[in-house]
Amino acid sequence: MKTDPAVRVSVFDDLDSLSRAAADIFLSVASDAIALRGRFSVALSGGSTPRRLYTLLASSAYQNRVDWSHVHLFWADERCVPPDHRASNFKLLSDTLLGRVFVPEKNIHRMHGEADAEEAAREYENQLSHFFGSSSLPAFDLIMLGMGEDGHTASLFPGSPAVREKKRMVVPVYLDKPNIDRITLTLPVINHAARVLFLAAGKTKAGVIHHILGEGNSREYPAGLVCPESGTITWFLDQEAAGKS
């Protein structure tokens, strides 16, 4: 697989080994950020692939290796549902991680999916400005992303106006029913992160991944538009997603 030299790609035997490597990245970046600035800011994503990672971080092998009191959790996107809804990305984190480690409530910066989408997006922009300072874009230490079979990431879908947003940090995403409307970080925010880590597993994603990483993303899949301005981007793939099954 040919890739841009600025893009790092690692291929793992299976989802379990991929998830363990991602957990090690989480620990390393968190430790460095806390040592340097006294806090670690990370934006997390929902989906089936990162579930294993969050479960690992909550396990006895990992949870005590993170100073959770200095971790600030944000979300890359959220569905417009209550926080206890089965489709909620917050609920995914609550079930797998937050119920097992102690993160101070003030350090949990969730998107309020139960509110009106536009209102929730504006409120989250305010949260980001308050935390990072209003003079510039947020600079997350780490943003962890997944990718859908259609090449979307966070809630940036192919053809959506949200993909072209240049000024706002957070926008509502309105989808045709029966899909659930969403709220998402925009590309300017994602591309301002110090580090972006993609997790992708499964053969159904292999074609899009090959187009993004091997053919230059001429179709402009949203996941392929993630290119941090001065940070690093890493893709963790299992064998199937890498097209090696």
Q: Where are the beta strands (DSSP E) in 13-61?
A: 40-44
Q: Is the pLDDT of residue 3 over 70?
A: no
Instruction: Judge contact between 197 and 236, C-beta under 8 A.
Output: yes
DSSP one-letter code for 203: G
Q: Is the pLDDT of residue 47 over 80?
A: yes
For residue 70, what are the CA distances in angstroms to 39, 219, 238?
5, 40, 31
Query: Which residues are CB-neighbours of 202 under 8 A, at least 6 positions away?
Result: 49, 238, 240, 241
Query: Which residues are CB-neighbours of 223 under 8 A, at least 6 positions away?
Result: 145, 147, 151, 152, 153, 198, 208, 212
Segment 194-223 shows an average pLDDT of 95
Structure tokens at 235: 């893709």
Segment 165-181 shows an average pLDDT of 94
* 228 cis-preceded (ω within 30 degrees of 0): no
For residue 36, what are the CA distances in angstroms to 13, 14, 30, 109?
34, 33, 10, 21
Domain 7-238 has CATH 3.40.50.150: no
Segment 214-226 shows an average pLDDT of 93
Q: Is the pLDDT of residue 4 over 80?
A: no
Q: Is the pLDDT of residue 245 over 60?
A: no
- For all residues of the chain together, what is the average pLDDT? 95
Summarize pLDDT for 96-118 with one digit per residue, the tens: 999 999 999 999 999 999 999 99
Structure tokens at 160: 């959506």
Range scoring the smallest mean pLDDT among 3-7, 79-83, 177-181: 3-7
The share of the chain scoring above pLDDT 90, in percent, equals 90
Q: Is the pLDDT of residue 54 over 90?
A: yes
pLDDT at 135: 74
pLDDT at 173: 97
For residue 147, what are the CA distances in angstroms to 27, 109, 150, 157, 229?
22, 22, 8, 10, 20
Higher pLDDT, 218 or 58: 58
Q: Is the pLDDT of residue 5 over 70?
A: no
Answer left, alpha or beta for residue 235, where phi above 0 means left and psi between -120 and 50 means alpha.
Answer: beta
Q: Is the pLDDT of residue 80 over 60?
A: yes
Segment 74-82 shows an average pLDDT of 98
CA–CA dist 155, 109 (Å, integer): 18
For residue 3, what are the CA distances in angstroms to 40, 189, 216, 232?
29, 23, 8, 14
Instruction: Judge contact between 111 and 82, C-beta under 8 A.
Output: no
Task: Band the pLDDT of 79: cuts 50, 70, 90.
Answer: very high
Q: Is the pLDDT of residue 1 over 70?
A: no
pLDDT at 134: 76
